[in-house]
């Protein structure tokens, strides 16, 4: 009992010391995130995948496109840990390189969506009136596009390449974010601290960047994380259909497309289960992290 | 001598939070007599609302717990009965009015539905009789066009009207005790005057014992017969209303009175209580008010004074009035 | 006589009500409907009324946080706007003039940006108007915080670490940073506990003396207004019903609404019995105000003419303006 009380005292002191430094809302969110096991696991798994992708040149046991004609469709062995594909390329190495593609498509496509969505959403929300109307109608129109059809059409016009995939995904997936940003800004701009900023003489763009955006960073961040997962899936889908990343460059999506053949599906599990599993694990980790972020950043959940 | 309806002895309610245990109500005792209005006054966080929730046994679970004490309603300890029994008492014998009339009413049901619900539950009134009783109740609380209002939804009524509906709901089963938690705080002055007038009339007519919880000393002066002043979970002063205003004893009560511009004499300056309410995680060892008190003595920092009766009916918790203090 | 710092003439602020399929304008909420008054230098001008009477809108429209619908406002002999004559102060001049007019808000939880630390909040205006560089501004912020009764270390903390009263002090420090002449105080103590209210009120009084400030003090609490203000305007449904000095208003309220408002405040002493004028009914909607005198639906002394003729807002004795038909009767 006495021990407990002493602990509390110590805690209090620590709290006081921290208080002197000032606890930013971000710090609180981070502490909350650290307590969330699932999100933390997601973060660790993702970090490992990113690390592998970055250091692929040093880690991959074989070259990306190295063809070993003596070992075509070889089952996993001590030399080829996950076997080889129909051209005799090492699956494990291609998986590691494929990670580069999948992750960078996710990141860059989402960044494109972020730039378009946040800018248009913020302008629509803050300006209101005619500008708001025009922007939101554009959003409505883009939302009407059947995503995969358009993506396939653009990809077939521009030709399959990793850059086109990024561009297509980014250009089609910003609408949800624009709506979120606009709605958040609409509620925020009625807040008194925005009026205070106006009365201090700040101009529109300063109010948006200094006061509004930092306050809606939380939903943006959550959207971005989940958006990356979505982009990875779309890339996999497009590549699977042959409109995405082109051979010989590997991506998890075009590696799975091996499973289009019945023989592969039935007899060579090592050619399609590992990339499938990686997509699954990546998307799951990102979603865990995203959910964790959402909870951590939610101002309504105090402590 | 009026009959005591509710008697609370040594009530303790605390909350578990991640930052530690908060003793929201810490040993509060009082009683409410039939036909009387007991005012409980204090600032936010002093435990006045938790006290009323404890009486209803509605302390938010799972973090809140009533750890000790007795709540005797007509001699029966409400803390020792089953939840099912409590449900029969709640709304039936003990009714409550909340501060925010908008959130306390369900927006998707008509006024008649909501008043009728407890009538059906506790008194078995259904069908036409139920509606008639609803209209009668709305008439009692002086709502114009009661026969129309019965079929209206909460959003169609103004704040004052909604609060009247709340009162009608509370009175629907002729409760023995009415707990009013800041009933007029959300209302405008002229509407507040209307509602207070109504509550006074009803109290006189129906003789319901009332617990009136407020931060507004004006409302207390208007309504209460007896007053309890709470600070940091404890009762610091308890007296008939006239004594609270005229022969104020506790420095905190005095400070509260002097903080209100309308309690001042002509040209008197506002005097304010320094500092703020101590953090519930870090309560002072002695008197909780000591760090803000102008008349602080050494003993105040060391020991919590007891609530002692210094005049008949006038109790105060302060070393200035307790042996061993001065 | 002191000079007028603010001159408001025929100010109107209507909010459009949108409705229908194509969100066309179907009506107006007349939040502020034709009010005129002056605020003298160094004065505390009180604006009192019930919720929805347009007092906050008035405060915000004067300093052009809201776009006025009609009327004119002069600040320190400079025209901020004069809608009828199509005069608007140029943007850059107005931005510069913002230094002189500040506002303190009611809700201490909504008025501070939760993602900024206190130092940035208080010093923001200084940096914006290039009065000081970042470092100097923080030093100045520390001074201001101490002036407002907070310790200087607090500059690194964030709003959520403070209580309501402390946040209000931060809001005051922010308003003071630019050394304004005029501050609109929009219910600055309504959200605070009683003992904290007194602290903040006292602080505001001290600061007024120290910096020779002029306040427009908006409140629904007559006792606070009585204690704090020099002159008072009583507002009902967007219009002034009575305007006079605090002393006159409390000694001899002339408008029936003022009278009932005064009698509705809870008594300060349980031993006195107070004659009450209890108003019937609720405040009508400002979207559809009654014809004639807006108060006639609740007025205990309503006459036939009140229902059709709008009473004039005129001076019944020096420095005491009332808008009520009863005044004409007395004169006769």
Pair C192, C163: CB distance under 8 Å: no
Residue from A1, A5, A12 whose CB has the most chain B CBs within 10 Å, to mutate? A12
Per-residue pLDDT tens for A253-268?
888 887 777 777 777 8
List Cβ neighbours of A150 (8 Å cut-off, separation of 6 or more). A168, A172
**A40: which 2 tokens?**
């933390």
Looking at the complex, report in whole angstroms how far the Cα of residue A136 sits from the nearest Cα belonging to chain C.
Answer: 15
Residue C323: C-alpha distances to residues C294, C313, C326 (Å): 10, 4, 9
8 Å CB contact of A25 and C158: yes
For chain A, what is the domain count? Answer: 1
Pair A97, A56: CB distance under 8 Å: yes
> Of all helices (H) and strands (E), which one includes residue C250?
helix C246-251
Pair B100, B186: CB distance under 8 Å: yes
Per-residue pLDDT tens for B255-279?
888 888 776 666 677 777 888 888 8
Question: Confidence class of residue C41 from pLDDT cuts 50, 70 and 90?
Answer: very high
Fold of B4-93+173-321: Rossmann fold (3.40.50)
B270 contact residues in C (CB cutoff 8 A): 198, 201-202, 227
Residue B213: C-alpha distances to residues A211, A220, B41, B53 (Å): 39, 43, 6, 11
Pair C200, C208: CB distance under 8 Å: no
8 Å CB contact of A303 and B19: yes
Between CA C285 and CA C130 the distance in angstroms is: 45
C155: DSSP letter: G
> Of all helices (H) and strands (E), which one includes residue B223?
helix B217-223
Q: CA B1, B4, B9, B15 torsion: positive or negative?
A: negative
**Cβ of residue B190 closer than 8 Å to a chain A Cβ:** no
Between CA A47 and CA C20 the distance in angstroms is: 53
pLDDT at C17 over 90: no
For residue A67, count other CB atoms closer than 10 A to its CB: 16
Number of separate helices (H) and strands (E) present in chain A: 15, 0
pLDDT at position A18 is 42
8 Å CB contact of B17 and A8: no
> Of all helices (H) and strands (E), which one includes residue A17?
helix A2-21
- Better-predicted residue by pLDDT, C255 or A11: C255
> Of all helices (H) and strands (E), which one includes residue A151?
helix A147-158
Between CA B274 and CA B296 the distance in angstroms is: 12
pLDDT at position A184 is 92
In a domain, residue A21? The reply is no
Domain residue extents for chain B: 4-93+173-321
ipTM exceeding 0.85? no
Looking at the complex, report in whole angstroms how far the Cα of residue B24 sits from the nearest Cα belonging to chain C.
Answer: 18
Pair B163, B197: CB distance under 8 Å: no
8 Å CB contact of B18 and A303: yes
Between CA A144 and CA A139 the distance in angstroms is: 9
8 Å CB contact of B189 and C198: no
* Architecture of the structural domain at C4-115+158-254: 3-Layer(aba) Sandwich (3.40)
For residue B133, count other CB atoms closer than 10 A to its CB: 16
Residue from C100, C104, C106, C113 whose CB has the most chain A CBs within 10 Å, to mutate? C113
Domain residue extents for chain C: 4-115+158-254
Between B and C, how many CB-CB pairs are < 8 A?
117
Looking at the complex, report in whole angstroms how far the Cα of residue B223 sits from the nearest Cα belonging to chain C.
Answer: 8
Chain A: residue whose CA lies nearest to B20: A8
Question: Confidence class of residue C57 from pLDDT cuts 50, 70 and 90?
Answer: very high
For residue C117, count other CB atoms closer than 10 A to its CB: 20
In a domain, residue A56? The reply is no
pLDDT at A19 over 50: no
Residue B166: C-alpha distances to residues B161, B191, B198 (Å): 9, 15, 12
pLDDT at position C20 is 63
Distance of CA B267 to the CA centre of its chain: 33
Between CA C219 and CA A172 the distance in angstroms is: 51
Note if the bond before B62 is cis, omega within 30 degrees: yes
Pair C321, C313: CB distance under 8 Å: yes
Looking at the complex, report in whole angstroms how far the Cα of residue A39 sits from the nearest Cα belonging to chain C.
Answer: 23
Give the structural domain span for A266: 95-297
List Cβ neighbours of B136 (8 Å cut-off, separation of 6 or more). B146
Per-residue pLDDT tens for B274-322?
888 888 787 888 898 988 888 888 888 888 898 989 888 899 999 988 8
> Among residues A232, B263, A97, A301, which one has the least CA distance to residue C194?
B263
Indicate which CATH number applies to the domain containing A241.
Answer: 1.10.3720.10
8 Å CB contact of B261 and C193: no
- Which residue spans within C108-204 are E strands per DSSP? 182-186
List Cβ neighbours of C318 (8 Å cut-off, separation of 6 or more). none
- Which residue spans within chain A are E strands per DSSP? none
pTM: 0.82
């Amino acid at each position: 009992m006495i021990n407990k009380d002493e602990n509390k005292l110590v805690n209090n002191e620590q709290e006081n010391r921290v208080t002197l430094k000032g606890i930013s809302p971000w710090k609180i969110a981070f502490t909350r995130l650290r307590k969330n096991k699932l999100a933390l696991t997601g973060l660790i798994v993702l970090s490992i995948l990113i690390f592998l992708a970055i250091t692929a040149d040093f880690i991959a046991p074989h070259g990306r496109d190295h063809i070993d004609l003596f070992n075509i469709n070889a089952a996993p062995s001590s030399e080829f840990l996950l076997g080889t594909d129909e051209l005799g390329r090492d699956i494990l190495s291609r998986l590691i390189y494929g990670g580069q593609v999948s992750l960078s498509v996710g990141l860059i496509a989402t960044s494109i969506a972020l730039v378009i969505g946040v800018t248009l959403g913020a302008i629509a929300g803050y300006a209101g009136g005619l500008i708001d109307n025009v922007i939101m109608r554009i959003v409505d129109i883009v939302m009407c596009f059947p995503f995969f059809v358009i993506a396939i059409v653009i990809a077939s016009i521009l030709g399959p390449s990793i850059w086109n995939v990024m561009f297509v995904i980014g250009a089609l997936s910003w609408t949800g974010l624009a709506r979120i940003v606009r709605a958040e800004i609409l509620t925020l701009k009625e807040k008194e601290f925005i009026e205070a900023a106006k009365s201090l003489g700040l101009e529109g763009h300063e109010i948006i960047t200094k006061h509004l955006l930092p306050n809606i960073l939380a939903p943006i961040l959550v959207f971005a994380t989940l958006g990356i997962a979505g982009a990875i899936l779309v890339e996999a889908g497009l590549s699977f259909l042959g409109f995405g990343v082109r051979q010989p460059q590997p991506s998890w999506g075009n590696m799975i497309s091996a499973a289009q053949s019945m023989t592969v599906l039935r007899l060579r599990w090592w050619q399609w289960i590992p990339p499938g599993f990686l997509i699954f694990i990546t998307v799951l980790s990102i979603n865990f992290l995203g959910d964790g972020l959402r909870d951590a950043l939610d101002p309504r959940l105090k402590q | 001598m009026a009959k005591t309806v509710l008697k609370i002895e040594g009530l303790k309610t605390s909350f578990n939070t991640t930052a530690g245990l908060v003793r929201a109500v810490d040993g509060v005792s009082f009683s409410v007599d039939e036909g009387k209005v007991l005012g409980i006054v204090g600032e936010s966080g002093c435990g006045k609302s938790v006290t009323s929730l404890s009486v209803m046994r509605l302390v938010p679970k799972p973090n809140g717990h009533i750890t000790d004490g007795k709540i005797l309603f007509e001699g029966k300890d409400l803390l020792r009965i089953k939840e099912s029994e409590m449900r029969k008492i709640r709304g039936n014998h003990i009714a409550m009015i909340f501060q925010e009339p908008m959130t306390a009413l369900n927006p998707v049901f008509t006024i008649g539905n909501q008043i009728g619900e407890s009538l059906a539950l506790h008194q078995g009134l259904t069908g036409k009789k139920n509606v008639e009783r609803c209209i009668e109740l709305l008439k009692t609380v002086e709502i114009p066009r009661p026969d129309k209002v019965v079929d209206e939804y909460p959003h169609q009524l103004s704040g004052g009207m909604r609060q009247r509906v709340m009162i009608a709901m509370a009175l629907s089963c002729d409760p023995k005790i009415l707990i009013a938690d800041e009933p007029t705080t959300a209302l405008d002055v002229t509407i507040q005057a209307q509602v207070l007038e109504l509550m006074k009339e009803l109290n006189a007519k129906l003789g319901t014992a009332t617990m009136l919880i407020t931060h507004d000393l004006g409302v207390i002066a208007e309504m209460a017969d007896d007053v309890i002043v709470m600070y940091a979970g404890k009762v610091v002063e308890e007296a008939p209303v006239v004594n609270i205003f005229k022969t104020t004893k506790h420095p905190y009560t005095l400070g509260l009175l002097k903080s209100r511009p309308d309690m001042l004499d002509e040209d008197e300056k506002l005097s304010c209580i320094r500092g703020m309410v101590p953090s519930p995680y870090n309560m002072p060892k002695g008197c909780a008010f000591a760090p803000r008190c102008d008349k602080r003595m050494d003993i105040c920092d060391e020991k919590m004074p007891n609530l002692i009766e210094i005049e008949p009916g006038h109790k105060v918790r302060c070393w200035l009035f307790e042996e061993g203090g001065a | 006589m002191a000079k007028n710092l603010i001159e408001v003439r025929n100010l109107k602020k209507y909010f459009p009500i949108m409705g229908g399929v194509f969100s066309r304008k179907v009506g107006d909420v007349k939040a502020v409907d034709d009010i005129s008054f002056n605020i003298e230098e160094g004065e505390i001008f009180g604006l009192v009324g019930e919720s929805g009477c347009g007092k906050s809108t008035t405060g915000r429209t004067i300093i052009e946080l809201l776009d006025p619908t009609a009327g004119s406002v002069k600040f320190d002999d400079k025209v901020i706007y004069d809608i009828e004559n199509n005069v608007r102060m140029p943007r850059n001049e107005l931005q510069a003039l913002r230094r002189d007019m500040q506002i303190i808000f009611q809700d201490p939880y909504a008025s501070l940006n939760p993602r900024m630390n206190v130092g940035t909040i208080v010093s923001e205006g200084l940096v914006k108007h290039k009065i000081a560089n970042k470092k100097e501004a923080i030093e100045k912020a520390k001074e201001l915080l101490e002036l407002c009764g907070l310790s200087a270390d607090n500059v690194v903390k964030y709003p959520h670490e403070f209580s309501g009263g402390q946040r209000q002090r931060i809001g005051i420090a922010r308003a003071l940073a630019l050394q304004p002449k005029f501050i609109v105080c929009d219910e600055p103590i309504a959200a605070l506990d009683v003992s904290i209210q007194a602290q903040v009120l006292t602080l505001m009084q001290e600061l007024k003396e120290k910096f020779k400030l002029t306040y427009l003090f908006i409140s629904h609490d007559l006792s606070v207004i009585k204690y704090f203000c020099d002159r008072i305007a009583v507002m009902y449904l967007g219009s002034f019903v009575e305007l006079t000095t605090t002393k006159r208003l409390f000694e001899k309220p002339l408008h029936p609404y003022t009278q009932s408002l005064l009698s509705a405040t809870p008594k300060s002493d349980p031993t006195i019995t107070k004659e009450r004028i209890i108003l019937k009914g609720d405040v009508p909607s400002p979207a559809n105000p009654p014809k004639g005198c807006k108060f006639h639906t609740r007025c205990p002394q309503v006459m036939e003419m009140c229902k059709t003729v709008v009473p004039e807002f005129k001076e019944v004795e020096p420095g005491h303006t009332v808008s009520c038909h009863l005044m004409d009767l007395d004169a006769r």
